[in-house]
Structure 1
Amino acid sequence: MEKGKKAVWSYRLTWGQEKRRWVGGVVFPFLIAAIGMALASLPGLDHLGPLACAILLAVLYRHVFGYPVALRSGIQFVSKYLLRLAIVLFGLKLNIAVLLQHGWGLVFRDLAIVVFAIFMMVLIGKIGNVSPSLSLLLGIGTGVCGAAAIAAVSPILQSDDEDTALSIGMIALVGTVFSIGYTLIRPLLPLSSLQYGAWSGMSLHEIAHVALAGAPAGQEALALALLAKLGRVLWLAPLSFVLMYWKKTKANCHDGRKTKVPFPWFLLGFIVMSLFGSYVLGNAISVSPGVLSFLSFVTSLFLTAAMVGLGLNVDLRTWGRNGWRPLAVMCLVSLGLSLLSLFLV
């Protein structure tokens, strides 16, 4: 009887330890995310944004202290499940009604941008001996909406956490350099302020990059830049379903039998939230700006914490040996994207 009691007590103690480790693993990415978001509010670092700052902190932690193995279960929960929740909430940022009011011309020009970025990144990446998985993630991030797009498609593509984190870091770096470059060459371009705004929104990577480049041209130019950027975000859901079908077909061809590819249910949530934010909030339901700001903050916090979980898987030594190739290819594709957008404007 005493042995039985001792065994039960030992089991309960072990379970309690695992629970504490899981909680610690959940708290840890949020702590790094909070620090990253605070750093992103500082002059200079605000150009990188909270996602990039948090990933850099996570990579630095991994490089100095190693991966926190004891907290792995909680960290994986954040980087997997809370990431999907963040993508669902991200749908509130896409106002479909406003976008469609300005015509389908902008939407289909944005489609051309998305297709060009993905195709050229994969093609040149293959020539440059870049990992196909990393090339595809970089193409999607460059063409659609940066880190959010990469975070949305990486579960569908079953990408390595290291590739996902590396691609987000490169998107932040190249996008920041290009957005600053846009502001410097703007006075030299034969473009009106509205044309410049449309060009910025159609070619730059992150929404933060579009805001950085578009603001100096005035409020109307900035509004058009953000609208053009939303047109690219609109294609995130259709692209994700195309990738799911492609992944499933590819798996079936290799295995010779039907292979199940997990259905991205969180993308349905993204679509529902987009429709809800576009046609219900502000129309049928009146919501205070404070509530919307809080939801936006929660979305950013969850997404940033999930990126910390991915960043902890990045090995700087591996990136140092192989990172220059995808970075060079991405710079080349981004330059081509800028020229194509300039032509479409």
Structure 2
Amino acid sequence: MSLAQRVSTILPGLALTCAVALLAYAGEHVEVVLFGGRWIESLVLAIALGIAVCTLKPLNPAMKPGIDFSAKILLEIAIVLLGASISLSAIRGAGVWLIAGIAIVVILSIAATYVIGRALGLPPRLATLIACGNSICGNSAIVAVAPVIEADSQEIAAALAFTAVLGIAAVFLLPLFYFHLGMSVPQYGTLAGLTVYAVPQVLAATAPVGLLAVQTGTLVKLVRVLMLGPVIFLFGVITKAEAVGTDARGSHHHSLVPWFICGFLGLMALRSFGLIPDVLVAPMEVVSGILTVIAMAALGLSVNIRSVAHAGGRVIAAATLSLLMLGLISYGLIVALQIQ
């Protein structure tokens, strides 16, 4: 198939995913206008709208190549560009013991959440997505890990939808720990940075307590985000090693690390060494965000609503128990490090 033929095959589905993504951005803008803030991100709206479109009317088979292209290739490009937004410079502002403690919290939380998810009957890949989302950085971690472990669209949609709701709830409930449990400002900022999913949500959760809480929470959160690189690298190696192990003939070549993980880590390294000009970082983040929303729209257009609904109760239970477990582990770190 020639390049022109391939492009013409992809265009219908790509146009549909872009239209759904635009509607999601429009919905987010309406939220800001009406409520003064974003309660549901465009990323989650894109999945919900995609599912609605797919449920209301069966899609023309001609749409499938473009939808598949958006869900896979565009998502992988978005992950590569995401690496440019992560810099190791955050480590300079944290002590060695705090960094080590955050790494331990992330590892323990991923392991505990995976065990909880499997105990509740969730499939291994869905349990892994929820574990990474809760333990690292919510939507970004789920989106980055999903192609590495070869999760399907139903699993990604379920993990994103239910953890998004829980993330919003955490922003409202977490300040109660400060106001009613007598925590100090540094302790609360550390707890928020260790438990809340996204950086904007950390800001929302810590702002009522004051500037010191915001600064502490943001620093801890940024160090926690740095764990995304090693985690997706590790899952990439494990997944590809398993693929090699199950190839009885051993005649197929398997790259141990997917190309987009190498790209992600490469851009993260370039950013950390100051080789990416600051003027390019923001545009790369914007492009990564746009491509991610388009990819999520494509995933929504591929989702069977019955599959997501069927797993709903167990996903909510796993995500909730995971967040409680993360909170306990995080509080244990605060006590162990004697943060006052």
Q: How does 1:142-161 map to 2 (within 5 A)?
A: 142-161=134-153
- Higher Cα Rg: structure 1 or 2? 1
The Cα offsets for residues 179-236 of structure 1, whole Å up to 9 and x where unpaired, read as 2111344311322223212111111223332232122223332232222122222122
Structure 1 residues 257 and 218, CA gap change in structure 2 (3 angstroms): farther
1:47 partner SS: coil
The Cα offsets for residues 241-282 of structure 1, whole Å up to 9 and x where unpaired, read as 222232234344444554654432212222222233333268
Matched, 1:32 2:20: yes
Residue pair 1:121, 1:139 contacting (<8 A) in 2 also: yes
- Residue 301 of structure 1, CA deviation: 0.7
User: What RMSD in Å do the two structures reach over aligned CA positions?
Assistant: 2.5
Residue pair 1:67, 1:313 contacting (<8 A) in 2 also: no
Instruction: Give the distance between the partners of 1:297 and 1:250, measured in 2 at CA.
Output: 35
- The one-letter amino acid paired with 1:265 is W
Query: What TM-score do you get using the length of structure 2 for normalisation?
Result: 0.87
Structure 1 residues 153 and 110, CA gap change in structure 2 (3 angstroms): same
- The one-letter amino acid paired with 1:212 is A
- The one-letter amino acid paired with 2:213 is A
Q: How does 1:175-254 map to 2 (within 5 A)?
A: 175-254=167-246
Structure 1 residues 21 and 152, CA gap change in structure 2 (3 angstroms): same
Q: Which runs of 5+ in 1 are unaligned?
A: 1-10
Query: What TM-score do you get using the length of structure 1 for normalisation?
Result: 0.85
Structure 1 residues 40 and 184, CA gap change in structure 2 (3 angstroms): farther
State which of 305, 314, 318 in structure 2 corresponds to 1:329. Answer: 318
Instruction: Give the distance between the partners of 1:226 and 1:37, measured in 2 at CA.
Output: 26
Instruction: Give the distance between the partners of 1:335 and 1:302, measured in 2 at CA.
Output: 32
- Residue 318 of structure 1, CA deviation: 2.1
State which of 273, 287, 292 in structure 2 corresponds to 1:303. Answer: 292
- The one-letter amino acid paired with 2:209 is A
Q: How does 1:103-142 map to 2 (within 5 A)?
A: 103-142=95-134
Matched, 1:60 2:52: yes
Q: Tell me the number of residue pairs that the alignment of Structure 1 and Structure 2 aligns.
A: 327
Structure 1 residues 296 and 134, CA gap change in structure 2 (3 angstroms): same
Instruction: Give the distance between the partners of 1:86 and 1:221, measured in 2 at CA.
Output: 31
In the alignment, which residue of structure 1 is the partner of 2:261? 267
- Residue 240 of structure 1, CA deviation: 1.9
Instruction: Give the distance between the partners of 1:210 and 1:304, measured in 2 at CA.
Output: 21
Structure 1 residues 95 and 179, CA gap change in structure 2 (3 angstroms): same
Instruction: Give the distance between the partners of 1:185 and 1:248, measured in 2 at CA.
Output: 42
Q: Once structures 1 and 2 are overlaid, which stretch shifts more, 192-201 or 258-267?
A: 258-267
Matched, 1:279 2:273: yes
The Cα offsets for residues 140-187 of structure 1, whole Å up to 9 and x where unpaired, read as 111122222222222221111211121111221111111211134431
Structure 1 residues 47 and 99, CA gap change in structure 2 (3 angstroms): farther
Q: Which runs of 5+ in 2 are unaligned?
A: 335-340
- Residue 109 of structure 1, CA deviation: 1.9
Structure 1 residues 100 and 295, CA gap change in structure 2 (3 angstroms): same
State which of 43, 54, 59 in structure 2 corresponds to 1:51. Answer: 43
Instruction: Give the distance between the partners of 2:165 and 2:76, measured in 1 at CA.
Output: 24
Q: How does 1:92-111 map to 2 (within 5 A)?
A: 92-111=84-103
1:217 partner SS: coil
2:38 partner SS: helix
Residue pair 1:37, 1:50 contacting (<8 A) in 2 also: yes
Instruction: Give the distance between the partners of 2:13 and 2:83, measured in 1 at CA.
Output: 27
State which of 288, 292, 305 in structure 2 corresponds to 1:316. Answer: 305
In the alignment, which residue of structure 1 is the partner of 2:337? none
Q: Once structures 1 and 2 are overlaid, which stretch shifts more, 210-219 or 125-134?
A: 210-219
Q: Once structures 1 and 2 are overlaid, which stretch shifts more, 309-318 or 207-216?
A: 207-216
Structure 1 residues 48 and 167, CA gap change in structure 2 (3 angstroms): same
Structure 1 residues 279 and 29, CA gap change in structure 2 (3 angstroms): same
2:97 partner SS: helix
